[in-house]
Amino acid sequence: MTVSTGDSRSPTPALLLGLILTLAAVVGVSWYITRQISGLRALQTDLADRNRTDSLQLLRIQNDLNSLGLAMRDMLDSEEPYPLTAWSAQFARIRGDLESALAREADVAVARRTPEQSQYLSTSLAQFWDAADRIFALAGSGHEAEARAQIRLSLQARQAALNTAVARLLVENNASEEQTAVRVRDIYERVQRQVYIFLAATFIAIALTSLYLIRSNRQLFARLTTLSNDRRELAQQLIATRESTLREISRELHDEFGQVLTAMGSMLGRAGKHTPEGSPLRAELREIGEIAQTTLDNVRGLSQTLHPSILEEAGLERTVDWYLSTIERQLGITVSYERPKSPVAVNSEIGIQVYRVLQESLSNIARHSGVKDARVRLDFEGGVLQLDVEDRGKGIGTSPGRRGLGIVTMRERAALVGGAIEFLRPAQGGTLIRLRVPIEANHV
């Protein structure tokens, strides 16, 4: 019997460490991705959305400035029949829209804009409206020629300067939007790259953990296989030792005690012949002789039960016939026996194991099945000896805890002679124990 001396350390600590590292990586990368996404959301909200809204307001301001430019061109047109004061209402409407757009633009202007840039637009626009008010005042007092001259010299120049300032802000916003788009793309690429790295690291960790687990399982199964083989070898050695011991005890009972009891019977018979007829001693000697004969019969029966010598003398079939003839008296059950179609010679090593399986099967039926009858079938076909023992009782329980040592022993006995045993549940109920042993048969 071999003894396993391999490393018996448990793989659990290493697997737990791998699990902890994997979970830590998942938590760390999740935190990193969440932080990047939060930053991306803030970037899009604070810059992209504000830039877009700011640009819309600047376009609105630019559109109003263009409307003022068109109005001033019409005011300078000498063919216009209207006085300059006729455009004061249009200027007032545009002024209200410009002030509203400028206030909205100041709220959403990007933080990178300097205070001077922010102040320049509002100051220039205020100066423009001061000049416009003076021009309309001149026109109202009848100095239209002077008012038109002021439009050419001052007001148009201020409107052009305002247009240039707004256009510059729009260009800066466009550049800012492009920079924001680049930053957003960089963040996406960085997050994507980190996710790929994380996935690769996770895959490597899972692969290493799986390889370690496979290796540990292989070692574990190798140890289990070694232990199973050791257990089977030990069980078979115990069975062989038990049979050898029973054979020796049976031989001792049959030879030693049997001869002693036979000699005692002969001596009692001779003593009785030398005793006077009608003597009480003669009757007592006869009674003692009968007791000795009964004891001799019991010893021989016990010897056959321990190890049937008939198996070696007459073969398996005769042994089964003899054993089944004693079953009803020993176990209290009735057995229906179906003999082989043709006789077959089986060596004693196989025969004793088949006989023990038959003994254990019928003993289980008597103890557990709840019925008083059984069916035994012995057959040989295709180089395989088959023993069937069947009953219509409760059947073998499905719970492993209900399976006793007898079933384990029967399996080991079957394996000892290269056979296989099955514990089946027939459709009619009960239990069918089927032993199949390959043998080289010599028909007689």
Rounded to whole angstroms, how far apart are CA atoms 378 and 435?
10
Rounded to whole angstroms, how far apart are CA atoms 288 and 365?
38
pLDDT at res. 212: 80
Query: What are the structural domains, with CATH classification, of the chain?
Result: 12-214 (1.20.1420), 310-443 (3.30.565.10)
pLDDT at res. 119: 78
Burial 228-248 (b: 16+ CB within 10 A, else e): eeeeeeebeeebeeebeebbe
pLDDT at res. 288: 81
CB 369 within 8 A of CB 431: yes
Q: What digits encode the pLDDT tens for the residues 376-429?
A: 999 888 888 999 999 988 876 544 444 567 788 888 888 888 889 999 988 888
**308 C-beta neighbours (distance < 10 Å), count:** 24
Tokens of 36: 């990047």
Q: Residue 390: beta bridge partners?
A: 375, 432
Query: For helices 115-140 and 156-252, what crossing angle results, to 10°?
Result: 150
Tokens of 269: 């018979």
CB 72 within 8 A of CB 91: no
CB 315 within 8 A of CB 350: no
Rounded to whole angstroms, how far apart are CA atoms 15 and 22?
10
pLDDT at res. 195: 78
pLDDT at res. 6: 47
CB 243 within 8 A of CB 352: yes
**310 C-beta neighbours (distance < 10 Å), count:** 15
Tokens of 439: 């043998």
Q: Residue 375: beta bridge partners?
A: 336, 390
State the DSSP code for 240.
H
Burial 320-341 (b: 16+ CB within 10 A, else e): beebbeebeeebebebeeeebe
pLDDT at res. 79: 67
Rounded to whole angstroms, how far apart are CA atoms 43 and 183?
9
Computed over every residue of the chain, the mean pLDDT equals: 79
Q: Name the residue type at position 130.
A: D
Length of the chain: 444
Longest Cα pair distance anywhere in the chain, in angstroms?
187
Looking up tokens 């089977």 gives 232
Rounded to whole angstroms, how far apart are CA atoms 83 and 80?
8
DSSP line for 213-252: HHHHHHHHHHHHHHHHHHHHHHHHHHHHHHHHHHHHHHHH
Alpha-carbon torsion angle 327, 333, 334, 336, nearest 10: -80
Q: What digits encode the pLDDT tens for the residues 8-45?
A: 566 677 767 777 877 787 787 778 778 777 777 766 66
Rounded to whole angstroms, how far apart are CA atoms 444 and 435?
23
Query: Which residues 6+ apart lie within 8 Å of 66 measured at CB?
Result: 163
CB 416 within 8 A of CB 353: yes
Segments in the chain below pLDDT 50: 1-6, 398-402, 441-444
**Comparing C-alpha atoms, which of 71, 100, 99, 85 is closest to residue 133?**
85
> What burial class does residue 391 get, using C-beta atoms within 10 Å of its C-beta: 0-12 exposed, 13-18 middle, 19+ buried?
buried
Q: How much of the chain exceeds pLDDT 70, in percent? A: 84
pLDDT at res. 389: 93
